[in-house]
Amino acid sequence: MNRKRVLIVDGFNVLRSGSRYKNISLNMPDYDHDWFNRAREMLINDVVHYAGREWRATIVFDGGGNAESTGEAQKVGGVRIMFSPAGSSADKVIEKLAFESRENGYEVLVVTSDATIQDTVFGLGVDRMSAEGFSLEIDRYHDEARLDEAPKTAQKRTVADRIDASTLAKLMALRDGTS
């Protein structure tokens, strides 16, 4: 069954509330340019990997206070990245995207810790995930990927491995009744 799924991420909210991204900012001023760029790139890469081929993903950042923001989306690794247009909040864009996607029959997941957005999209029949829940999910994903890259399995040790060949032959003969 090919499911139609849409993932919408509240960009600034996840950067501020998800431990995976907040930890980058330790000992840095709020929204320090370098911190912000590193955290934003990490978030985009994480969404690209999380969404894979299962989700149509969009990350929405708040651009409402920027007179230059047009609300146009760019694609990075198959994920749409957009800033809300001047005069409009990311919250409104997220709610609109969630509503339209749901109306078009998509299964929708919104990632945010903003209680107002969560309440609004829940009323639309949309699933929600907190910023921290997403951070933990991504950490789990990376832990599993590391384990897949370097599988370490314990070697199964049996009694037959630990005894000399002549004793093993005698025991096998006893077992098989051929002594």
CATH classification at residue 22: 3.40.50
pLDDT band at 30 (very low <50, low <70, confident <90, very high): low
**171 in any annotated domain:** no
Q: How far, in Å, CA of 59 to CA of 67, rounded?
A: 20
Q: How far, in Å, CA of 118 to CA of 103, rounded?
A: 18
Query: Mean pLDDT across the chain, nearest whole number?
Result: 83
**164 in any annotated domain:** no
Q: Is 173 helix (H, G, I), strand (E, B) or coil?
A: helix
Count of alpha carbons within 13 angstroms of residue 146, beta-carbon side:
6
Nearest to 110 by CA among 42, 39, 59: 59
pLDDT band at 1 (very low <50, low <70, confident <90, very high): very low
Q: Token pair 């060949």 is at which residue? A: 165
Domain count, the chain: 1
**169 in any annotated domain:** no
Lowest mean pLDDT among 85-89, 127-131, 146-150, 172-176: 146-150
pLDDT band at 31 (very low <50, low <70, confident <90, very high): low
Residue 150 has pLDDT above 60, yes or no: no
Cα end-to-end span (Å), the chain? 60
Prediction pTM value:
0.74
**165 in any annotated domain:** no
**158 in any annotated domain:** no
Q: What is the pLDDT of residue 47?
A: 95
Residue 122 has pLDDT above 90, yes or no: no
Lowest mean pLDDT among 72-86, 115-129, 165-179: 165-179
What phi, psi does 162 have (nearest 5°)?
-105, -5
**160 in any annotated domain:** no
Q: Token pair 């999380």 is at which residue? A: 50
Residue 7 has pLDDT above 80, yes or no: yes
Mean pLDDT on 18-22: 87
Mean pLDDT on 139-156: 66
For residue 88, the enclosing domain spans 5-149
**135 in any annotated domain:** yes
pLDDT band at 158 (very low <50, low <70, confident <90, very high): low
Give the Cβ contact number of residue 36 at 10 Å.
17
